[in-house]
Amino acid sequence: MDFIKDYALFLEKEIQNIKFPSSPANLYDPLSYFLTLGGKRMRPMATLIAGDLFGASLEKTKFAALAVELFHNFSLIHDDIMDKAPLRRGKITVHEKWNENIAILSGDVLFVKAYELLSKNDCNHLMPLLACFNRTAVEVCEGQQLDMDFEQREEVTLDEYINMIRLKTSVLLGAAFEMGAIIAEASEENIQNIYSFGVNLGIAFQIQDDLLDLYGESDKVGKQKGGDILADKKTILSILAKSAASEAQKTELINLKYESNNELKIKRSLELFETLNVKENCTLVMNEYYSKALKSVEDINVNNSKDKLLTLFQILKQRQY
Amino acid sequence: MDFIKDYALFLEKEIQNIKFPSSPANLYDPLSYFLTLGGKRMRPMATLIAGDLFGASLEKTKFAALAVELFHNFSLIHDDIMDKAPLRRGKITVHEKWNENIAILSGDVLFVKAYELLSKNDCNHLMPLLACFNRTAVEVCEGQQLDMDFEQREEVTLDEYINMIRLKTSVLLGAAFEMGAIIAEASEENIQNIYSFGVNLGIAFQIQDDLLDLYGESDKVGKQKGGDILADKKTILSILAKSAASEAQKTELINLKYESNNELKIKRSLELFETLNVKENCTLVMNEYYSKALKSVEDINVNNSKDKLLTLFQILKQRQY
């Protein structure tokens, strides 16, 4: 587990080394602010681990790792505008602290900075890295659009939901691993396997996020339990509930939208979810993706130890909030 | 002049060939819509002309040309949100036709598409192309931020204004020429000269834009004369006027903001501008940049004819609205 701390320290130092000009302040101050809000740095960590697995040093993979992290932060800044989110990682969002125009534009410039970092890679790696990065960036935008589209729809199927989270969040984790493997010049098959590992892990992680919002030890971090229910958000829980519900139960689930008593709203949702086996069914789906991820690890053909990959897997799987 | 028509046709065909997926419709429909709004296609034309001058075929330079055009359109979609512009090229803007979230996100994906097209270049050209493209994209964002910052300020100097339009609009024209020259493997000196040509031409063009808004034959295109004055926009005209004005004239210029009679507002502005020699002084500054641009053309050391470069120059310089 020590490598996790080492990698995290390495990344924080590298992120702090990304210097922005002082002017125009309204363009660059939001970026310095946002990048210091922290976060798990799971994606750049993935790039470093994949590189290490196939024999590339941290120094060689760091630019791609940082590019992924900057892209992720760019997408968060823009998503926060679209979601009208007041807080990110417990701190005030860019569009709230400054304004929407500044959040749009500083997001844009952060996106370019991601490409700048990516462009620091050797010429022979740059083509496949760009292909991976561009493809993924498009998919992330598609996922965000589907997410917004789904909020306007009454019915969303499980497959549609999984596809949405795959695009919105999981392909970036897959791409983060893939880019480390590309730089380490892993075989095509290994690149594909570590990408699949990341995507399936990402999907499981996102499902777990939905589960933890209602069933996690969220009081530990001061987050409100059932925040998704109170925000009437479409999650895998609400989708599984609806798909298993009788007509009467479905009607009640839909009408809970209008319940203004928060405690009652969560209590009644929990009761319905229990009757409908939502937690168990959701856990089954989640574990299916964790298993797929592990299968991809097995499929990776390499002499080096896969321990770091498996450690990251365990850390993500075991979180309780 | 015939080559202009040929190049324009070539570009329109290539732009029409850029196909977007059909789903998510809310992400891709705005892009198909926006790209068919037309425009002068001056920037991609610049890339083709620069490539041709130094011996690269249209087929070789077209991806960079299209990347520049897509980047330009991306920046327009986002700028229109920030400026709350209802119309673009006489048609309803993306954020008005759909909504702001869709305009942010489809802008983002168009930005990626620009990088996708750029990535189609040969590996040996890709590094310098990306360096040029990234640097320019950052500068364009800086220019847009300065433009927004200036709207909040009472005083802006001529130098500050020129620097803002250089970043916001001119460096992209410079980069468009530069990228054609890079692909044609022109010498470092020639690349620098054609870049300077583009930047200075772009600055002159933008100054001309400010001039034509008030003094152009804008009735020909149904545009309102003096639109910038009515919108209280900072332009080179208002900056030159203020810097030449006496205290009393300055006060009057500032107070004209509160004049609600449009006809009177423009009439009185025109009178003050005439007293203060604004049109003449502005034309002097503009011609200085046109001359700098021509000087850069002279400095280009190449056996091929520079006629196409000069034709584009003349077309831009001679427009009356």
Distance CA A36, CA A34 (A): 5
Model pLDDT, residue A222: 53
Question: Could you tell me if B99 lies within 8 Å of chain A, comparing CB atoms?
Answer: no
Count of A–B CB contacts within 8 Å?
Answer: 108
Q: Does B166 touch chain A (CB under 8 A)?
A: no
Contact A257, A151 (CB under 8 A): no
Contact residues on chain A for B70, CB-CB shorter than 8 A: none
How far does CA B32 lie from the centroid of its chain? 21
- Residue given tokens 């004239």 in the structure block: B249
Among A194, A178, A223, which residue's Cα sits nearest to residue A320? A223
Catalogue the long-range contacts made by A158-162 (C-beta closer than 8 Å, 24 or more residues apart): A158/A236, A158/A239, A158/A240, A158/A243, A158/A285, A161/A234, A161/A236, A161/A239, A162/A203, A162/A236, A162/A285
Q: A35 near A291, Cβ under 8 Å? A: no
Q: Is the pLDDT of residue B218 over 90?
A: no
Task: Summarize pLDDT for A208-247 with one digit per residue, the tens.
Answer: 999 999 998 866 555 678 989 998 999 999 999 999 999 9
Computed on alpha carbons and rounded to an integer, the radius of gyration of chain B in Å comes to: 20
Q: What CA–CA distances, in Å, run from B307 to A156, A288, B291?
A: 60, 66, 17
pLDDT confidence band for B38 (50 / 70 / 90): confident
Q: Is B160 helix (H, G, I), strand (E, B) or coil?
A: helix
Distance (Å, whole) CA A188 – CA A134: 18
B85 lies within 8 A of chain A by CB: no
Interchain proximity B112–A81, CB inside 8 Å? no
**Which residues in chain B are contacts of A63 at CB distance < 8 A?**
none
Burial class (CB in 10 A: 0-12, 13-18, 19+), B165: buried
Does A33 reach chain B within 8 Å, measured CB to CB? no
Report the gap between the CA of A232 and the closest CA in chain B (Å): 20
The verdict on B27 touching A (C-beta cutoff 8 Å) is: yes
Report how far residue B305's alpha carbon sits from residue B295's, in angstroms, rounded to the nearest whole number.
16
Residue A217, pLDDT score? 80
pTM here is 0.96
Q: Where are the domains of chain B?
A: 2-318
- The amino acid occupying position B96 is E
Looking at residue B296, its pLDDT comes to: 98
Q: What angle do CA B114, B119, B121 make, to 5 degrees?
A: 120
Cβ contacts of B266 within 8 Å, gap of 6 or more = B214, B225, B226, B229, B230
Q: Is A115 on the interface with B (CB under 8 A)?
A: yes
pLDDT-derived band at B124, boundaries 50, 70, 90: very high
Residue by residue, what is the 3-state secondary structure of chain A? CHHHHHHHHHHHHHHHCCCCCCCCHHHHHHHHHHHCCCCCCHHHHHHHHHHHHCCCCHHHHHHHHHHHHHHHHHHHHHHHHHCCCCEECCEECHHHHCCHHHHHHHHHHHHHHHHHHHCCCCHHHHHHHHHHHHHHHHHHHHHHHHHHHHHCCCCCCHHHHHHHHHHHHHHHHHHHHHHHHHHCCCCHHHHHHHHHHHHHHHHHHHHHHHHHHHHCCHHHHCCCCCHHHHCCCCCHHHHHHHHHCCHHHHHHHHHHHHCCCHHHHHHHHHHHHHHCCHHHHHHHHHHHHHHHHHHHHHHCCCCCCCHHHHHHHHHHHHCCC
Instruction: Give A2→chain B minimum CA distance, Å.
Output: 37
| Whole-number pLDDT of residue B220 | 56
Q: How far, rounded to the nearest angstrom, does the alpha carbon of residue A192 sit from its chain's CA centroid?
A: 19
Q: Is B77 on the interface with A (CB under 8 A)?
A: no
Pairing of strands B91-92, B87-88: antiparallel
Do residues B97 and B87 make contact, with C-beta atoms less than 8 angstroms apart? Answer: no
Average pLDDT, chain B: 95
Confidence of residue B221 (pLDDT cuts 50, 70, 90): low
Chain B residues with CB under 8 Å of A147 CB are none
Give me the sign of the Cα torsion angle A37, A38, A41, A42: negative
Nearest CA in chain A to B143: A24
For residue A124, which residues of chain B lie inside 8 Å, CB to CB?
123
CA distance A258 to B262: 50
Tracing tokens 């009515």 back to the chain, one arrives at B230
CA-atom Rg of chain A in angstroms: 20
How far apart CA B100 and CA B102 sit, in angstroms, is 5
Tell me which chain B residue has its CA closest to the CA of residue A128. B119
Tell me which residue in B104, B113, B134 faces A82 most closely, judged by beta carbons: B104
Residue A153: burial class (beta carbons within 10 Å; 0-12, 13-18, 19+) = exposed
The pLDDT of residue B222 is 53
For residue B24, is the peptide bond before it cis, meaning its omega torsion is within 30 degrees of 0?
Answer: yes
Binary contact (A112, B137; C-beta < 8 A) = yes
Of B104, B127, B149, the CB nearest to A123: B127
Residue B282 banded pLDDT, cuts 50, 70, 90: very high
**Nearest-Cα residue of chain B relative to residue A109:** B138
Set of chain B residues whose Cβ sits within 8 Å of the Cβ of A141: 27, 105-106, 108-109, 112
B5 to chain A, closest Cα gap in Å: 33
> Rounded distance, CA B50 to CA B65, Å?
10
Chain-chain contact of B105 with A134 (C-beta, under 8 angstroms): no
- A99, A106, A115, best to mutate vs chain B, most B CBs in 10 Å: A115
Handedness of CA A270, A274, A277, A281 (dihedral sign): positive
Give the C-alpha separation, A168 to A202, whole Å: 10
pLDDT < 70 positions in chain A: 1, 218-223, 321
Provide the shortest C-alpha distance from residue A165 to chain B (in Å): 14
Among the listed residues B184, B239, B243, the one whose alpha carbon sits nearest the alpha carbon of residue B55: B184
Q: Phi then psi for B16, rounded to 5 degrees?
A: -65, -25
B82 touches chain A (CB under 8 A): yes
Beta bridge partner(s), residue A136: none
% chain B with pLDDT above 90: 92
Q: Is some CB atom of chain B closer than 8 A to the CB atom of A9?
A: no
- Flag whether pLDDT at B116 surpasses 80: yes
The DSSP call for residue B218 is: G
B101 touches chain A (CB under 8 A): yes
Taken as a whole, chain A contains a residue count of 321
Would an 8 Å CB–CB cutoff place A131 in contact with chain B? yes
Q: Is some CB atom of chain B closer than 8 A to the CB atom of A85?
A: no
B141/A109 CB distance under 8 A: yes
CA gap A60, A223 in Å, rounded: 38
CA distance linking residue B240 with residue A312, whole number of Å: 61
pLDDT in tens, A109-133: 999 999 999 999 999 999 999 999 9
Return the pLDDT at A2. 87
Give A-chain residues touching B110 at CB under 8 angstroms. Answer: none
End-to-end Cα spacing for chain A: 20
Shortest distance, CA A145 to any CA of chain B (angstroms): 6
One DSSP character per residue, B63-116 reads HHHHHHHHHHHHHHHHHHHHTT-SEETTEE-HHHHS-HHHHHHHHHHHHHHHHH
**Residue A320 confidence (pLDDT):** 76
Instruction: Specify the pLDDT at position B216.
Output: 87
At A9, list the tokens: 């320290």
Residues from chain B that touch A130, judged by Cβ atoms under 8 A, are 115, 119, 126
pLDDT of residue B35: 95
Residue among B141, B144, B160 with most chain A CBs within 10 A, to mutate: B141
Q: Is B2-318 assigned to CATH 1.10.600.10? A: yes
- Taking the C-alpha atoms of residue A40 and residue A144, their distance in angstroms, rounded to an integer, is 21
Whether B219 shows a pLDDT value over 80: the answer reads no
φ/ψ of B19, rounded to 5, equals -100, 135
User: Phi and psi of B114, rounded to 5°?
Assistant: -65, -45
* Confidence band, pLDDT 50/70/90 cuts, at residue B236: very high
User: Is the CB of B104 less than 8 angstroms away from the CB of A111?
Assistant: no
Cα gap B54→B47, rounded to integer Å: 11
Kindly state whether B141 is in contact with chain A, defined as any CB-CB distance less than 8 angstroms.
yes
User: Which residue from A24, A105, A123 is facing B123, i.e. has the nearest CB?
Assistant: A123
Output the pLDDT for position B2: 87
Omega before residue A24 within 30° of 0, cis: yes
